[in-house]
Amino acid sequence: MISLKQVHYALAVKRHLHFRRAAEECNISQSTLSTALSEMEKQLGFQIFERDNRKVLVTPLGKQALERARSIELQMEDLKKLADSQREPLSTLLSVGVIPTIGPYLLPRVLPALQDRYPRLQLDILEDQSAEVLDQLRRGALDAAIIALPYDCDGLLTFPFWQEDLLWIVHAEDENAGIKKATVEDFARTHLMLLKDGHCLTEHALAACKLDNVSTHSFSATSLSTLSHLVAGKIGSTLVPEIALEQLVSGNERLVSIPLEEPGPHRQLAIAIRPNFPGMANVEALVKLFRDEFKRTATSSC
């Protein structure tokens, strides 16, 4: 009979396409992993992997088998979490992915309240781009992901907790610094710098600015902080979400934020989970706390 350990080992090899790295992930020897997978293939009656001294490939039948194996592993992981779902919300370990254009600005805002209201919560946070955190969410490596919509979340459930606009950031001495609202024509008069490909904020920015492509407007920066420093150095202009204004713009006399003429909201902040995730009470508690904190801080800043 095929064991769950064998399923776990096979999926590790699929991720790495390398037996040694897969064995390291599983904390076993390479020979133990190889023996277990050979036995698994013997029981199935076909090869899952084609391997030689240089590479590992997944066979066509192996791809089908591993898709079913991943489904089995996810169901087992969710089964283990059923016990946690019966406990008080946010009282156990929760692994959450968050994208870079949200994480640095959301977490300082909500973590104090989380620690105060849910002292037993253990957060394991991964920051990465949307495609990666959602891939890990689908694979079961994460319990939830904090992302910005619109984005392709096929097969997942999303729970928006806030919506916001983007703002155009220019240098205080820029000729556009005094305008009331930014238009497409205004963007054409300056060098608009956006995050490199892979950041969903770039697509949101292009949509909000009604620009057709990114090639002539992109800058190979990986963070909004870098872009804001470049604007402060008179290199160009950029777009930032409202959530980042306090950290990036407020108090910096060299930077000016300008609303866009295109009506918002330009993006939604949301929590994404798998449809069968058993910790729905955790998600509901997070969404409520996030909404409360955004409303509280928005009111206090008025």
Which stretches within the chain are classed as H helix? 4-16, 19-26, 30-44, 60-85, 103-117, 130-139, 184-187, 200-209, 224-232, 245-248, 280-300
Q: Which residue has the higher pLDDT, 52 or 226?
A: 226
105-124 confidence digits (pLDDT tens): 999 999 999 999 999 899 99
Closest CA to 10 of 54, 72, 52: 72
Residue 301 has pLDDT above 70, yes or no: no
Provide the greatest CA pair distance for the chain: 73
pLDDT score of 221? 74
Which domains, and CATH codes, for the chain? 4-84 (1.10.10.10), 87-163+267-300 (3.40.190.10), 166-259 (3.40.190.10)
pLDDT score of 267? 94
Q: What is the pTM of this model?
A: 0.74
Averaged over 199-222, what is the pLDDT? 70
6-38 confidence digits (pLDDT tens): 888 888 898 888 888 989 988 999 999 899 999
In sequence order, the 6+-apart residues with CB closer than 8 A to the CB of 41 are: 47, 48, 49
Averaged over 52-77, what is the pLDDT? 83
Q: Which residue has the higher pLDDT, 228 or 211?
A: 228
117-175 confidence digits (pLDDT tens): 999 899 999 999 999 999 999 888 899 999 999 999 999 999 999 999 999 999 999 98
pLDDT score of 146? 97
In this prediction, residue 86 has a pLDDT band, given cuts at 50, 70 and 90, of low
pLDDT score of 216? 46
pLDDT score of 219? 57
Residue 204 has pLDDT above 90, yes or no: no
pLDDT score of 298? 66
Omega before 119 within 30 of 0, i.e. cis: no
**Within 13 Å of residue 219, how many CA atoms lie on the same side as its CB?**
17
pLDDT score of 215? 45
Output helix, strand, coil percentages for the chain, rounded to the nearest 5: 45, 20, 35
Find how far residue 71's CA is from the centre of its chain.
22
Closest CA to 65 of 80, 33, 43: 43
pLDDT score of 225? 92
